[in-house]
Amino acid sequence: MDFELSQEHRMWQRAVRDFCEGEVKPYAQEVDETGQMRWEAIRKMRDIGLLGLEVPEAYGGAEMDTLGVAIAIEELGRACGSTALSISAHNGLGVAPIVRWGTEAQKNQYLPKLLSGEHLGALALTEPGAGSDLAGGVQTSAVRSGDGWVIDGSKAWITNPGLAPVINVLLRTDREAGTSGFSMMLVPTDS
């Protein structure tokens, strides 16, 4: 088995490393101390594909393979752990569920915003007093009401809160179905 990076992956690694050395690493201490994202760098991430790593090109993403994604996050982590965590969560927890399970209307509505560099994706999974215990901890529920849903419950430690136009929320839509009764719903942050 060959464990060497392909030429394409090495070129990608170099591009991300060069970007991080100039735009991320010099500001890592400030980002960690203030807890504030460096939006100038995030907007520039859009231009090299870091905000839509696994998003198909048809939606404006980089359509990167798994190794390419790992290389990108590793290089971001070399430069600033906080930034790497936020961008990894953005891609894997905020954007990926929309790409995989969203309707075409949802993809067209939210992906341009999430890939723009003006917003980051978010996930609400953890609940107060339950941590991330999915089987017994998820109490937030959604019940149909007319043409919509009524959501009841609370979440804690939301990844990338306040940075997203929409949050992926894990909740129960069928309490009798155990973990099969879980659903992910997109909740606009202005609702």
Question: CB 165: neighbour CB atoms within 10 A?
Answer: 19
- Using CB atoms within 10 Å of the CB of residue 175, give its burial: 0 to 12 exposed, 13 to 18 middle, 19+ buried: exposed
Measured CA to CA, the distance from residue 61 to residue 51 in angstroms comes to 8
- At residue 157, the pLDDT reads 86
What is the CA 150 to chain-centroid distance, rounded? 24
Same domain, 170 and 134: yes
Helix, strand or coil, per DSSP, at residue 127 = strand
Domain of residue 33: give its range: 7-120
Q: Is residue 138 part of a domain?
A: yes
Instruction: Kindly report the CATH number assigned to the domain that includes residue 156.
Output: 2.40.110.10
Place of tokens 């992956």: 9
Q: Is residue 27 part of a domain?
A: yes
Q: Is residue 36 part of a domain?
A: yes
Q: Is residue 2 part of a domain?
A: no
Instruction: Kindly report the CATH number assigned to the domain that includes residue 35.
Output: 1.10.540.10
Same domain, 19 and 68: yes
Same domain, 163 and 82: no
In the chain, how many domains are there?
2
Local mean pLDDT, 10-residue blocks, the chain (191 residues): 92 98 98 93 96 97 97 98 96 96 95 94 89 80 95 91 89 90 92 81
Measured CA to CA, the distance from residue 45 to residue 91 in angstroms comes to 12
- Using CB atoms within 10 Å of the CB of residue 72, give its burial: 0 to 12 exposed, 13 to 18 middle, 19+ buried: buried
- At residue 174, the pLDDT reads 92
Same domain, 157 and 176: yes
Measured CA to CA, the distance from residue 143 to residue 154 in angstroms comes to 15
